[in-house]
Copies of this chain bind each other. A is one copy, B any other.
Amino acid sequence: MAKTTVERPAEDDIQRGELLDLYRLMLLMRRLEESVYRKFHEAKIGGYLHRYDGQEALVAGVIPQLRLPGDYVLCTYRDHAHALACGTEPKAIMAELMGRATGCALGKGGSMHLTDPERGFLGGDGIVGGPVPVSLGVGYALKYKGEGNICVCYFGDGAMNQGGVHEAFNMVGLYKLPVLYILENNQFAMGTSVERSTGQPDFVLKAQAHGIAGERVDGMDLLTVREAANRAIARIRETGEAYFLEMTCYRYVGHGIGDDNTGGHKTYRTEEEVAEWRLRDPIHRLRDTMEARGFLTAEQAEAIDREVVAEVEEAIAFAEASPEPPLDSLYENVYS
């Protein structure tokens, strides 16, 4: 993951350093997401575009604890934060969003298909539930190779209603594979709330029904997520068996750029509801904790923010200056 440049005190305060890194990472995610709609409206970015604002702790609390490369990460189309956490350069991400030759997928994937296999990031997936059957295969391969690595697979609450997810869960439970499932329960699948989409809302029970143990976690608090993920990862490395974490969280913006365009979100939630969840913002919460513990001053926070914003602007400049993919690459990569 990106390293902070804030000066450290002489005495090497690991915990402080770690928290600063995570704070910076979450802020980088937020600032990057805040920039993409602007670029979409400037017609620099096209297609579907899904932001992670509000869910940052689910990624910052988990991925930095992995061994990358070695372990693997799979996620949905809402994948910008995951790529950042795996260490993909903001430049390569922004260039991919703009469909440039310098993008992490040479401009062929776009927002929903960021990828960086050398860093263990197997990419986003545009199909709801799609990464879960794939995680079964990745998990099987990791067990097969026997090097003690694990696979982390992110997916949404709406994906719990995909049959393929249940087939894969059952097989992962049956074969006992080293996969950590992170359910990004942000309360909605597009405009459909969890209550309107499931016959039984306890997702942990759905995983247990296939032989995968799990628990529910407050996904709005980085330290809570980090602690739960730490336990889960240790347990998986030790037992080789899968674990399921349902993370309660919330997406601040519409489902995707289209949702905002249509104002569709007004049909499924109120501005008040969004405002209430924003009060639990994981970035502010971490900042308060760190300030309380004397890990971070207002000035340092400002500095980090300026840095991060600069990094995003730099990525944008890089992407905009990058060439489009050559036309003859159209027929390349269809086959290996």
Contacts and interface: CB of A to CB of B under 8 A. Distances in A.
Contacts of A164: 163
A208 interface: yes
Contacts of A200: 170, 173, 208-211
Assembly stoichiometry (copies): 2
A94 interface: no
Interface string A194-212: 0011111010011011111
A68 interface: no
Q: Interface of chain A, helix or strand or loop or mixed?
A: helix
A292 B161 CA distance: 51
Nearest to A129: B163
Nearest to A167: B163
Contact of A199 (B197, B199, B211): B211
A236 to B, nearest CB: 15
Contacts of A162: 163, 167
Contact of A161 (B161, B170, B196, B205): B170
Interface in A164-214: 164-167, 169-174, 196-200, 202, 205-206, 208-212
19 contacts: A161-B167, A161-B170, A162-B167, A163-B164, A163-B165, A166-B166, A170-B198, A170-B199, A171-B199, A172-B199, A173-B199, A174-B198, A199-B210, A199-B212, A200-B208, A200-B210, A205-B209, A206-B210, A208-B209
